Amino acid sequence: MDYRIEHDSMGEVRVPADRYWAAQTERSRNNFRIGAGIETMPAEIINAFGILKKAAALANNSLRPEKMTDEKLSAVVQACDEVISGSLNDHFPLVVWQTGSGTQSNMNSNEVIANRGNEIAGAKLLHPNDDINMSQSSNDTFPTAMHIAAVVALEKKVVPAIDTLVGTLKRLEEENEGIVKSGRTHLQDATPIKFSQEISGWRSSLEKDRRMILSACEELKELALGGTAVGTGLNAPAGFAEKAAENISEITGIRFVTAPNKFHSLTSKDEIVFAHGALKALAADMMKIANDVRWLASGPRDGLGEIFIPENEPGSSIMPGKVNPTQCEQVTMVAVQVIGNDVAVGMAASQGNFELNVFMPVCAYNFLQSARLLAESILSFNSNCAVGIKANREKMHHNLHNSLMLVTALNPYIGYENAAKTAKKAFKDNISLKEACVELGFLTAERFDEVFHPEQMV
């Protein structure tokens, strides 16, 4: 492999000749061989760094044109646009398990943008620290990148995925409006419910999760950029924070603002915790929905069997013809991962000391994994399972009329205790509720038929 010599404040370092990163990135790459090639800094963070470095350069050009000249700006903007597009992702090799402030990933961005910008300009025009990091610190850029990446992931991936599944559930509600089935509580028979009502519970849960996620996004739209090292804004010109936030808003099409208190925004990760809590709520609801679907589809002969779901692949290497609810299983595994990630995010956020939190890379890694997994899991569940859900009307009708909890309809006529006696006799003697009620002398057969209408109990 060919190398070139780069240097930083600690001396010279050999760097692969075909890479845009420089000395500090290479030191980190060599010093943190932990999860290399697998647990690297998320692409969403790299994208966000491209956005914020471009926004910062534009702000500096406006406020410090003698330092960020038009010539420099042109090269920086073009290099940042390439970072944003993802075409330079191979030049960001650093792992999550590095310095807790994300300093080395910030310098990775500075070095790549500087070296690519110099290549574009055809001259040694840009310095990673003096130009690309102008008016900034790793301590305010990394939390800014976290917030940008989080909002983009939530608003442009998670929310659209929710909307897709909600649309499918609305259609299923309409298609199944007239079907009455047995309700269940405690995994035991309960009073009747319309299948459309059951589906509406799933849909409403997702709609509430959507509102909570969007509410959390509003807090994430406050940016730390402009606080520099400890929140005082040292070395950043007046108005930089506001202009940078305006530029980020223009680049992303999402309205971001500068955080009113930078001492809070550098050390506290409460907005991330709050937003991930909304993701955890979504994961919990998706777990519930997936479990409901696989219970209702269980069988095909020895389970509930009240719905049919798509048969996507063989389910066993030994049992011919077996088909499993695999989309439900991927959803529940994703939900478990997200709930686990929530512990990591909460613990990371709790470890801020004085003017900085130094658990930011792991916080970002877990948050973005949760958002990515949920968005992809929901879309997979929708297209490979939910869209093909069909009611097994015959089985629903059978289970409904076989349920002992229909006896609840008799409470107003024979009282709770007599209704309980009726249900217990029917179960013990393996007879119908009607037969039990008549044998016990609580109602005549004719009167039973007059008052007993399961379809009207919904």
* Residue positions annotated with a catalytic role: 186, 316
Q: Is 288 exposed, middle or buried (0-12, 13-18, 19+ CB in 10 A)?
A: middle
- In 3D space, the residue among 335, 439, 419 whose CA is nearest the CA of residue 381 turns out to be 335
**Measured distance CA(94)–CA(121) in Å, rounded:** 26
**Measured distance CA(302)–CA(446) in Å, rounded:** 35
- In 3D space, the residue among 107, 90, 89 whose CA is nearest the CA of residue 98 turns out to be 107
